Amino acid sequence: MIDYAMEEADYHSRPELSSTGARRLLDSPARFKYWSEHPEPPKAAFDIGTATHSKVLGVGAPAIVYPDEHLTPSGNVSEKAATVAWAAEQRANGLVPISREQARRVDAMAEAVLAEPDARKIIEAIAGREVTIISDVEGVPSRARFDMYNGVRAADLKTGRDASPGGFNRGGMAGHGYYIQEQWYRDTHYAETGHELESFDFIVVESDAPYLVGVYDVDWTYREAARKKTREARERWLECMGTGIWPGYGKKTLLAPTWVVIEDEDEMEAII
């Protein structure tokens, strides 16, 4: 199934395994099971990213600025019960409450994305927004929600503190497992359509001035590692669903990180 109009809340309430669930499974099946049974409410830390996403792509939860009565004399958001209740009401209505300062940042981030030639070219070339694909991948019911998708190409918009090639590579691609997310989306797309995506790009904008933007794809080494990870996640899901056992970390042999090995070698050289 390919759905161009599914509401975000409906998507997240579905039972199929998502890329986020797959990454939690890889961390620990027990953690995945707890997370799936205890849904996390939206975190305020994600508000700027969510609002920027909506402003750039024209879909998703729109932002609403805190009114004056919910601000302190210095302009910060109040912590009073009335303000907390107001914010909760806005979230329940599908809105993202942000401060005036945050709204200025969101505007600047959106402008930076649209002013970056490579990013703008991708955004203008891929018409579909928040497109959901549901399919069976190797016996596992799977779901994926593309920021941008047209049946041939796909792209994802990310926000973060460091959009530089090195920063995003360490913090986002490797640290948050975005390479696994990409492969999960590719696998779900292929299972439903029977053909590979021609391209998948990440558009990344920094959340602080000067709001620099990077546009990235991944090489074959990431793709190969991601294939192994997504396959492992599906195997774990099938095993756990079959046995009803969702283990924690289990017994493992730990490998020494590179810095430990180097440190030991330096100490040996100092002794010699």
pLDDT tens-digit series, residues 209-260:
999 999 999 999 999 999 999 999 999 999 999 999 999 998 889 998 888 8
Residue type, 26: L
pTM (2 d.p.)? 0.87
The model's pLDDT over 72-116, given as tens digits with 9 standing for 90+, comes to 887 788 888 888 898 888 888 888 898 888 899 999 999 999 999
* Residues forming a β-bridge with 25: none
Q: Is residue 167 helix, strand or coil?
A: helix
What does CATH list as the number for 2-40+116-271? 3.90.320.10
Q: How many CA atoms lie within 13 A of 106 on its CB side?
A: 24
d(CA 115, CA 130): 22
* Structure tokens belonging to residue 141: 């019911």
- The single residue listed with the structure tokens 């497109």 is 131
* Structure tokens belonging to residue 183: 């492969």
Please say if the pLDDT value at position 271 is more than 60.
no
Residue 65 contacts by C-beta under 8 Å, 6 or more apart in sequence? 97, 98, 99, 100, 103
Lowest mean pLDDT, pick from 30-34, 44-48, 59-63, 166-170: 44-48
